Structure 1
Amino acid sequence: MKTAKFQLEELTCPSCIKKIEKTLNRQQGVKEVKVLFHSSKVKVCYDERAVTLKELSTTIEELGFSILATKIVNE
């Protein structure tokens, strides 16, 4: 299991949280998604054997959100 943290451009509405969480949770290999509205951060715990960091990034960008930074954390 790996954890990735994505810093997004400013989230403009609370419904963005549900949109991101719902879409990422549907992806194979994703175990947990947490979106922090006020800091515009997305934390994703995932199985790197089932989904790649690039696939997660692409999914977020396809939803219309720009990623400013990505960090892999060991937890």
Structure 2
Amino acid sequence: MKKLVFGLEPLSCPSCIKKIETALNHTSGVEDAKVLFHSGKVRIQFDEAVVQPEALRQIITRLGYPVISEKSS
């Protein structure tokens, strides 16, 4: 499993959390996705053999939340 943290622009409402987490957690290959509201970060644990980081980035961007940074861990 690989871990990735995306930095987002500041989130404006708690419902944003649910929207992003639901989309990512329903993505094949994603084991866990958590949104940290106050820091504007998304932590994702995923199987790189099933889904690539760019696909995860696109899911978040299509929901209307631009990704401004990316860090692997």
- TM class by shorter chain equals over 0.9
Matches within 5 A, 1:1-75: 1-73=1-73
Q: What SS does the corresponding residue of 1:65 show, helix, strand or coil? A: coil
Instruction: Describe the superposition over 1:4-40 as per-residue Cα deviations: whole angstroms up to 9, x where unpaired.
Output: 0000000000000000000000100000011100000
**Residue identity opposite 1:37 in structure 2:** F
Query: Number of residue pairs matched?
Result: 73
Runs of 4+, deviation exceeding 3 Å: none
Shift of 1:63: 0.3
- The amino acid that maps onto 1:26 is H
Normalised to the residue count of structure 2, the TM-score between the two structures is: 0.98
Task: Give TM-score, length-normalised by structure 1.
Answer: 0.96
* Percent identity over paired residues: 48
- Unaligned runs of 5+ residues in structure 1 are none
Could you tell me which runs of 5 or more consecutive residues in structure 2 were left unpaired when the two chains were aligned.
none
1:34 aligned counterpart, secondary structure: strand
* Cα drift, residue 55 of structure 1: 0.2
CA distance in 2: counterparts of 1:3 and 1:12, whole angstroms: 25
CA RMSD between the two structures: 0.4
Q: Output the CA distance in 1 between the equivalents of 2:54 and 2:66.
A: 14
